[in-house]
Amino acid sequence: MQISIVIPVLNEEQSLLLLYDEIVEHTKEYEYEIIFVDDGSVDNSFEVLKSIADKSMNVKVIRFRRNFGKSAALNIGFKSTLGNIIITMDADLQDDASAIPCLIKKICEGWDVVTGWKKKRNDPITKTFPSKVFNTVTSLMFKTKLHDYNCGFKAYKKEVINEIDVYGEMHRYIPALVIAKGFTVTEIVVNHRARKFGVSKFGYERYLRGYLDLLTVKLVTEFNRSPLYLFGGVGSILLGSGLLIGLYLTFMRVFMHVFLSNRPILFLAILLIIVGLQFISIGLVGELLVSQTRKINRGDSVSIKETINVKEIR
């Protein structure tokens, strides 16, 4: 059994050596590789990673030319893995590496994905409260109850990562993406430690991006095969409402001789009909796009500056 551990890195120079030592301590009984993806760090993170890789051929380093985001880092890291079990974790030491054997054990029990649950989270309320709202909304939208969708500490079977494409802020919704494909997902409680070095790399703008990506995931998981079901359904409701109002106004004009030029409801009917037709048109265009292109690989949009010990990125 070979284990691949993928770790996105952004300005974590003080944590990296300690993290590496922790991982080695808890993976002694496995054949393993560690893939660090430097997501455009501007401190000495790459130099630290380079020194680690010089001492161990089990360590691979991929360096981006600039910051492309956590999802892009994970996507490229996934493409560089050789193991049949892939583990992801953060580089800030808040994820406790002692949980790695527990994640692997769950995978060996037959689960396709095991996600960590930071039941006791050592973060300020400005992070914990929005996270609770996010997990509640996501669970309702995808009808799958998980306590911590956004936990970066996860384990996957190899076949899972071969079938997902992570971009934007999609790393938050990986459980929803894999469930939509029929894979099984469970969660285990993991120890979450207070940040020891540095500061969080996520600002408030991530909430807007996360909301937009939530809509994207909902679209690609439920309507990716037939966008017309979504846009056509909304368009049909709007178009039908406009036509009903139009028929009502026609009846009023023909049989009751009511003048319509000064009635705002006439303009509402026209607006509903036009917007409804536009939604249906968008759905039809989406159907054409889906029929022509079944998969778009967005991971290739990153620019890699250099790699260490990486033979191939698929």
Q: What percent of the chain has pLDDT over 70?
A: 86
Assess whether pLDDT exceeds 80 at residue 283.
no
Per-residue confidence at 202, pLDDT binned at 50, 70, 90?
low
The class that CATH gives domain 2-222 is alpha beta
DSSP-derived pairing of the beta strands 154-157 and 113-117: antiparallel
- In terms of average pLDDT, the best of 86-90, 174-178, 302-306 is 86-90
Q: What pLDDT digit, counting tens, does each position of 298-311 carry?
A: 445 577 888 888 87
pLDDT at site 38: 96
Comparing 23-32, 95-104, 223-232, the range with the smallest average pLDDT is 223-232
pLDDT at site 208: 62
What residues does 18 pair with on adjacent strands? Answer: none
State the first-to-last Cα distance of the chain, in angstroms, to the nearest integer: 21
CA dist 88 and 35 (Å) reads 10
Q: What is the mean pLDDT of residues 30-45?
A: 95
Q: What is the mean pLDDT of residues 124-145?
A: 76
CA dist 237 and 124 (Å) reads 44
**More confident site: 218 or 205:** 218
Percentages helix, strand, coil for the chain (3-state, rounded to 5) are 50, 15, 35
pLDDT at site 66: 93
Torsion of CA 254, 256, 257, 258, to 10 degrees: -110
